[in-house]
Amino acid sequence: QRAYAHILLKNYYEAVIDAKKSLELSPYNSMALLRKGYVWYDWYQTESQVIITLMIKNIQKNNIKVEFSENELSAVVNLPSGEDYNLKLSLLHPIIPEQSTFKILSTKIEIKMKKSEAVRWEKLEGHRDVPKPKQFTPDSKHMYPSSSHYTRNWDKLVGEIKEEEKNEKLEGDAALNKLFQQIYSDGSDEVKRAMNKSFMESGGTVLSTNWSDVGKRKVDVNPPDDMEWKKF
C-alpha cells in the first residue's frame, strides 16, 4: 500500500524500492510485482534487418550498453529503479555486427540487426545446428506465378501450341484459310500489298500475290462460276 501511495504522489523511485522490499519478504506477492514493473520486448523483421524493441522509457545513452556479435545480441540497461535489465539472445541466423545499431527514443529502445543473408527468420533465437534456409531463385525467365504448387514455363507452352497448330491436319475451307495465312505470313511486302488490294477491291472474290499485275489496275469482282455477285 505504501508503494501505491508513492505512485499517487509520483515518487516512482520510492515506489519501486518499497515494491522490492515487499518481494523480498513475499516473493509471490502479485501486487508487488506489478508495482515493481516488468520490461518486455518485441521484434519484427524486414528483408534486410531484424528489429528488437525494448519497452523502456526515458533511458539516457550512458545507461545502456549493447554488444553485437555474429550469432549473439547482448543488451544491459540501467533502469530508473537502479536495477539492471539484461537481455542476451542466441540468434537463429548470423548478423553483421558492424552494420547493426541501436537508437534510444523517449518511450522505447530500438535495436536494428543487419541480416547477413536475405532470408526470413521463423523465430528470433535458435541453435547453431539449424539447417541453412533455402533462398528462392527462379529456374528461368518468364516463370510466372501460379496458384498451383508448381511453376509453368509459359514460353515453352506457347511454343508447343504453335508447333501443334503447325502440324495440325486441316480439311476444306479451314485448310485453304490456313494456306492463305501462311502465304501472307511468309510473303514479302509486295505479296502482302497484292493480297490486301485484290481482296478488298474484288469484294473478297479474288486473292492475288502478283503485285506487278494488281498494282497497276483495279481488281474486278470475279465470283465463282456457280455464284452470282450482288451488291448490297
Same domain, 49 and 28: no
Quickly tell me which residue has 514479302 as its cell. Answer: 188
63 within a domain of the structure (yes/no):
yes
Among 64, 98, 128, the domain boundary falls at 128
Is residue 154 within 8 Å of residue 142, measured between CB atoms?
Answer: yes
**Is residue 165 over pLDDT 50?**
yes
Rounded Cα distance between 95 and 69, Å, is 7
162 within a domain of the structure (yes/no):
no
Kindly indicate the confidence band of residue 221, based on its pLDDT and cuts at 50, 70 and 90: confident
Same domain, 55 and 119: yes
End-to-end CA distance of the chain: 105
94 within a domain of the structure (yes/no):
yes
pLDDT in tens, 1-43: 554 454 455 554 455 555 555 545 554 444 444 444 456 788 9
Is residue 74 within 8 Å of residue 90, measured between CB atoms?
Answer: no
Return the SS3 of 213.
helix
Quickly tell me which residue has 511486302 as its cell. Answer: 189
Same domain, 118 and 193: no
Q: Residue-wise over 3-22: b if at least 16 C-beta within 10 A, else e?
A: beebbeeeeeeebbbbbbeb
57 within a domain of the structure (yes/no):
yes
Q: pLDDT at position 44, please?
A: 94
CATH number assigned to the domain comprising residue 51: 2.60.40.790
Q: How many CA atoms lie within 13 A of 67 on its CB side?
A: 9
**φ, ψ (nearest 5 deg) of residue 60:** -85, 155
Q: pLDDT at position 46, please?
A: 93
137 within a domain of the structure (yes/no):
no
Range of the domain at 75: 40-128
135 within a domain of the structure (yes/no):
no
Same domain, 44 and 116: yes
Return the SS3 of 219.
coil
> pTM to 2 decimals?
0.43
205 within a domain of the structure (yes/no):
yes
121 within a domain of the structure (yes/no):
yes
Beta strands in 71-116 (DSSP E): 72-78, 84-90, 95-104, 109-115
Is residue 19 within 8 Å of residue 82, measured between CB atoms?
Answer: no
The number of domains in the chain is 3
